[in-house]
Structure 1
Amino acid sequence: MKHIDTNALLSAIAGFCIILLFTHHGGIGVSPDSVVYTSVARNIYHHHQLEAYNHMPLVDFPVFYPVFLSVSMFVSGLDPVVSGPVLNGLLFGLLIYLCGVAFRKSSSSVTARWALYLSLIISPALLNVYTMLWSETLFIVLSMVLLLLTHKYCQKTSLTVLIGMAVCAGLACITRYAGITLIATGGFIILFRLNTPLRKRIGHTLLFGCLSSAFLLANLLRNAQITGTFTGEREKGITPFFTNMYYYGTVLCDWLSFLKGHYQGATLLAIASLLLSAILLIRHLFRPVSHGAMHNIALAFFFIYTLFIVVSSTISRYEQINNRLLSPAFAPLLLVVIYSLSTLPERFSHIRKTYLLVPLALMFILFQASQVQISKSMYNEYNHYGIPGYTQDSWRHSPVTQHIQNHPNLFKPGTTIYSNAQEAVYFTTGLAAKSLPHTIDTQDVETFAKTNEHYLIRYNEVNDTDLVSMPFITAHKKLTPLYTATDGVIYSCTLQKANNSEHDHP
């Protein structure tokens, strides 16, 4: 018990309770990605197969998070959607505790540690993630474990610790493909630990890199063997680099809370954060003690991870940079910022402490007050309507969903069902629908256009412009409404006898 940080443990328990509080109305938040994770976990549990609800192999996402959810099913006997609040509460509490342990490696200030705990517990950035059934919940914890192991390795270059680092980084890679940033972070710290002989540094870097990469390589080879692609079909990026920098800057503004919605200087803030991080990392390279310090390791991960997200968003197309994508960098950044601010009085000892402590205290109060205000607003929304996603009241009480549930013989067996929200159909009704084809997938569009008889469940709330449009569908199909409601329509579709050429483009 003497090694347990009581303050960190109490903070972790508070974090656990807050997740339960935020999810008590409608349960854990479920997004389209969550539906895939959950369905794969169910298939592992019931059929020992890595397949999603649509009987397609899991390729777009790495395997470890669904495996983790399936393990929770074996242990608890509960579906991940049911156990999600407790599972995420435990992960959030563990993250807070690990952050407390990490901060003690750099600072002995009790005041600074409590500032960290309070900032984490009521953080809108983290609450937004830990109230959802997302792989980031596990990835962030693995990231913090890796940072702690890296610091331990820097204290004593143990092969056992190095192997532990490799396993942790490897598991992170098969939780999210962005886990390669943890391999890069560990490799950077090991290779540039200048007070260690060069040959040893190179050897340990190669060993760490090979062992950690083996997890990802095995996952990618499995994907290639099954589908011929390493990570599924990926579209080329369409967002310029500096536009992504702007989006990254808006997330930083949101993290500061009191700048939320004020994005005029978002790009400059993003550039400044990366430049300052790079300068500090280079500076610490030539200070062996500070290079292996906890705050520098956290800074290295923040820089590498953030830069990776911005660059990869420019090269490959996926959702716009947002809090979810950048959330693994939040806790390390918070750790670095609070440590740096807490050491200002020591570094500027020639200045009266009052001149530093008063503005720092005011900044902290402003930051926390704005965090409380945003988190309170989130709680009020969740408490009245549920967490945005398929467990929200609007989806749970959807007339279209209830009609399907009340009419199990509505659809002819063996006839394909299409939808503009296939995950919603599966999650709310248990039916395995196909997604309407994306406009860029010409072969899928052609197959859809030639399909004679099928059903279409169209939700008004979903407006995905990447999917084929209604004008295109009506030009190729004869639509017979089977049920019309305020939130959508269920159609029976057959081929038009003659297509209107002006609507040939999807």
Structure 2
Amino acid sequence: MLSKTTPTDQTALVVDDYARQRHLLVAVAGAGVLVAVLLQLIATRRGVGLQEDSAAYIGAARGLLHGKGLTLPFGESLATPLTRYPPFYPLLLAGHAITPLDVFGYARWLNTGLLAATLILVALICRTMSRSAAMPLAFASLIVVGSTRFITVYAMAMSEPVMIVAGLASLYLLMKYLADARPQLLFASATLASLAALTRYIGVAYGVAGAILLARSRTQTRHRRATLVVAYLVGSLGPLAAFIAYNVLVVHDTANRSLGFHPSGLRNLSRMLDTLGSWLVGTESSAQGIAGLVLCVTLVAAVAALIRRGGAHRATAVVLVVWLVVYLVLVELATAIVDATTAGDYPRILTPALPVVAVLLASALHQLMSMRSRLGRLRLALPIACVVALAPIVPEAVRWGRSARINGVAVTRPAWASSRVLRTARETPRGEVIYSNDAAMVYLLTGRHVFDVPSDRDVSSLRRNSEFDAQLARMRRRLARRGGIVVYFDNAFTPTRRQLTDALRLREVVHERSGTVLRAARQHP
């Protein structure tokens, strides 16, 4: 005789299934976080990676701690106000003063925590799409952790990790608000969006996307929607607007960038596809462009499937897609109007899009897998195809981890500890001046104030620098009056080392593969 299942038994089964799914989700998320943190710590064993932006953030943090405010200890003046970048990341770095760590060790552990937070947010967003989110989370975590482009950014003293965490948290809370309309969720979302914008200017994408999503909501009256949109814009973009207004009124500078018009072309589109493809096939593959194109087509199909599904899938997908579109549009506008070199930095600039793309792809795959009756045998072939497609990620991540463990990521202080070029700069008498065509890095590795060697090209527009002759004359006078050295690194910088030597009558005193030190004779009156 068959036993009957009572409503109480059915409720217990549902509760047990929910608990199992939750435990499985926690286990998968924990495994992803553990792998990511270990990879991060291995990669930064020789110290956190450094580059030119790192010098600005660390220099501004030191300036704040030394009572000079958010100023840069390198460049044309002794304390240039920080306007090229928003202030939040330097403020975070200044927090190292209350820890036993120096700013470099602090940045390393801060980014390790931010990487863990990123994967936790990916898990939470996957959870909003499906109760049984373990499989899509595992897929999304593999894409995120396995992408060496992504991990590289977190292994460096860069502001993107802070923006990504604040931005993803803002989007997650906005999803929650759109589901149950609790005001505190909207306030928290706007606050986090403001932190993203105060970390990087492109972070305004989170506030703009949030306003668009609130405007298209149909659960409120038109007047109520307008009020919410205005409040969200003020909360998310108001602090950054105040920072810019201060720069204009007090510092008389907006962002230390010259505006122009240099629209993005097919070459930039090719660079973008290469970057997207490198998320899947790695940075060494010659098939990056093809992989990027396939990824874009797959992403469009995934988004269409999620939106057509409806329910939580649709609501979450719409939030992520609106942000993704807004972000890409703003990146291209920045390239066309503000900085023509942005396209060359796509591997870093597009990093915030990776977790969003990973969640969309993983959720779409999970939805297809749940369609048992329609897929038939394809249901078994689909995950196999995905494993094959993602197969290059694992060996690429292992190769990158080994290389980073030995050589570090980008520039690290231990790698330059024995440099004669930097030792010469460090030992230059305080009364003399130091110039360099990479002033930020020389400051970061020596702690000395370094002036910029003028370039005959504008670094933002890539056009001729109309003030080059005047800047070179000022450099000549300063070297003649105080004496000093020029630390020159052979790269794409112009004028070349030979041109600069001839123009300023410099003599070579130190030369090694990493760079050259040129000395200017001091002219006594």
> Normalised by the shorter chain, which TM-score bucket?
0.7 to 0.9
Distance in 2 (CA, whole Å) between partners of 1:16 and 1:374 is: 17
Q: Could you report, residue by residue, the CA deviation over 1:274-327 in whole angstroms, capped at 9, with x for unpaired residues?
A: 87689789x67xx98458722331222222212321332133323314221000
TM-score (norm 1): 0.87
Instruction: Decide which moves more: 447-456 or 43-52.
Output: 447-456
Partner of 1:59: 83
Partner of 2:395: 373
Q: Give the alignment of 1:222-241 within 5 angstroms.
A: 222-234=246-258, 236=260, 238=262, 240-241=264-265
What amino acid is aligned across from residue 49 of structure 1 in structure 2?
Answer: G
Distance in 2 (CA, whole Å) between partners of 1:268 and 1:370 is: 17
Partner of 1:499: none
User: Which one of the candidate residues 104, 112, 136 is aligned to 1:81?
Assistant: 104
Partner of 2:63: 43
Runs (5+) with no aligned partner, structure 1? 497-506
Partner of 2:461: none
Using the aligned pairs only, state the percent identity.
21
Distance in 1 (CA, whole Å) between partners of 2:402 and 2:174 is: 40
Distance in 1 (CA, whole Å) between partners of 2:39 and 2:246 is: 39
Distance in 1 (CA, whole Å) between partners of 2:448 and 2:469 is: 22
Q: Could you report, residue by residue, the CA deviation over 1:236-295 in whole angstroms, capped at 9, with x for unpaired residues?
A: 3546333222211111111122794214547855875787689789x67xx984587223
What amino acid is aligned across from residue 301 of structure 1 in structure 2?
Answer: W
User: Which one of the candidate residues 450, 467, 488 is aligned to 1:433?
Assistant: 450
* Secondary structure of 1:220's aligned partner: helix
* Secondary structure of 1:484's aligned partner: strand
Instruction: Decide which moves more: 159-168 or 40-49.
Output: 40-49
Q: Give the alignment of 1:422-501 within 5 angstroms.
A: 422-439=439-456, 440-450=464-474, 451-452=476-477, 453=480, 454-460=483-489, 462-465=490-493, 467-493=494-520
Distance in 2 (CA, whole Å) between partners of 1:268 and 1:127 is: 22
Instruction: Decide which moves more: 39-48 or 425-434.
Output: 39-48
Partner of 2:9: none
1:153 to 2:177 alignment: yes
Runs (5+) with no aligned partner, structure 2? 1-18, 457-463
What amino acid is aligned across from residue 136 of structure 1 in structure 2?
Answer: E
Distance in 1 (CA, whole Å) between partners of 2:293 and 2:337 is: 22
User: Which one of the candidate residues 438, 444, 463 is aligned to 1:421?
Assistant: 438
Distance in 2 (CA, whole Å) between partners of 1:13 and 1:274 is: 28
Question: Offset at 1:120?
Answer: 2.7
Q: CA 1:78–1:445 in structure 2 vs 1: closer, same or farther (change >3 Å)? A: farther
Instruction: Decide which moves more: 375-384 or 322-331.
Output: 375-384
Distance in 2 (CA, whole Å) between partners of 1:246 and 1:399 is: 40
Give the conservation status (yes or no) of the 8 Å contact 1:258–1:366: no
User: Which one of the candidate residues 15, 25, 31 is aligned to 2:36?
Assistant: 15
Give the conservation status (yes or no) of the 8 Å contact 2:43–2:401: yes
Question: Offset at 1:376?
Answer: 1.5
User: Which one of the candidate residues 113, 128, 135 is aligned to 2:159?
Assistant: 135
1:357 to 2:369 alignment: no
Question: Offset at 1:218?
Answer: 0.9
Distance in 2 (CA, whole Å) between partners of 1:82 and 1:478 is: 41
Partner of 1:33: 53
Distance in 2 (CA, whole Å) between partners of 1:146 and 1:426 is: 35
What amino acid is aligned across from residue 327 of structure 2 in structure 1?
Answer: Y
Q: Give the alignment of 1:281-296 within 5 angstroms.
A: 289=311, 293-296=315-318
User: Which one of the candidate residues 193, 206, 211 is aligned to 1:169?
Assistant: 193
* Secondary structure of 1:318's aligned partner: helix
What amino acid is aligned across from residue 477 of structure 1 in structure 2?
Answer: L
Partner of 2:363: 339
User: Which one of the candidate residues 180, 187, 190 is aligned to 2:214?
Assistant: 190
Give the conservation status (yes or no) of the 8 Å contact 1:457–1:488: no
* Secondary structure of 1:350's aligned partner: helix
Question: Offset at 1:379?
Answer: 1.5
* Secondary structure of 1:458's aligned partner: strand
User: Which one of the candidate residues 415, 422, 429 is aligned to 1:401?
Assistant: 422
Question: Offset at 1:347?
Answer: 4.5
Partner of 1:500: none
Question: Offset at 1:65?
Answer: 0.6
Question: Offset at 1:491?
Answer: 1.9
Q: Could you report, residue by residue, the CA deviation over 1:200-236 in whole angstroms, capped at 9, with x for unpaired residues?
A: 2221111111221211111101221343221112353
TM-score (norm 2): 0.84
Give the conservation status (yes or no) of the 8 Å contact 2:152–2:409: no
